[in-house]
Amino acid sequence: MIYLRILQWSVVTGAICLLAGCVTATVQQVRETATAMNEEDSIVVLGRRNRPSKAEAELDFVECVSRNLSSGENPVQVISEQQFVDAMFPWFEPRTAPLSTTDLPELLQQPLLAERIREIGLKYLVWLEGSTRQIAQAGSMSCSVTPGGGGCFGFLTWEKDSSYEASVWDAHTAKTAGRVSSDAAGTSYMPALVVPIPIIARVQNSACSSLAGQLKQFVRNDT
């Protein structure tokens, strides 16, 4: 009986894994100072865009991390990237944004900026760097259309890798609070026997949710 139950679970897990594609994600963090957030404190997630780079986080990834931080269990108050850079204009544009925490004190010395930061309740700035790339692809597929109908035949597989790092700056102390990194990898498949069936590994989504989850714990000091 117990073997039957194990077999059932294995079949179900295997089917889910096949339909969604399997992803493995690893999250790491380095803490440099203690962190805490009150109800009125907020956080902003920004993509580093000072120069053309292959490690520039995608806009939708930045939005995904912000969305995950502000929802689910123990949500934190998040200011959207666009709202923040507009509110702080021109100090967080690609050419003018501070590159390290050593640039922050000078910026925060400006009364108008300090007042705006107080107004929006900003406690932490999170700088995101990284990207999702396709690292391998194999297989082939051919499709044909005839007057009698059409169809595809073949098998495609590709592997994606996501690697992101978030650097957390404390806007009150102007120091680096720590870093959280998230790596995810997964393989997607597309078998086709007349109709192609895509089995997509949601690698970037997995990296996003694991990074946001860890960031949430990090800023709340739950770890």
Q: Counting Cβ atoms within 10 Å, is residue 159 exposed (0-12), middle (13-18) or buried (19+)?
A: middle
Of 67-75, 83-91, 141-149, 161-169, which part binds another protein (CB under 8 A)? 83-91
23-31, strands of its sheet edge to edge? 23-31, 175-196, 149-170, 122-146, 42-47, 77-79
Dihedral sign from CA coordinates of 175, 29, 220, 131:
positive
Quick check: 129 binds another protein (CB under 8 A)?
A: no
> 3-state DSSP call for residue 117?
helix
Nearer to another protein, 1 or 112 (CB): 112
Q: How many CA atoms lie within 13 A of 177 on its CB side?
A: 25
Window 44-63: residues binding another protein (CB under 8 A): 49, 51-52, 54, 56, 58-60
Instruction: Assess 147 for contact with another protein (CB under 8 A).
Output: no
Retrieve residue 123's tokens: 């406690």
Please say which residue, 32 or 86, places its beta carbon nearer to another protein.
86
Q: Does 94 sit near another protein (CB under 8 A)?
A: yes
**Residue 118 binds another protein (CB under 8 A):** no
Among 2, 95, 142, 223, binds another protein (CB under 8 A): 95
Instruction: Give the residue, chosen from 131, 157, 163, 217, that forms a contact with another protein under the rule CB under 8 A.
Output: 131
74 secondary structure, DSSP code: S
User: Using CB under 8 A as the criterion, which residues of the chain lie in contact with another protein when the complex forms?
Assistant: 49, 51-52, 54, 56, 58-60, 86-91, 93-96, 110, 112-113, 116, 131
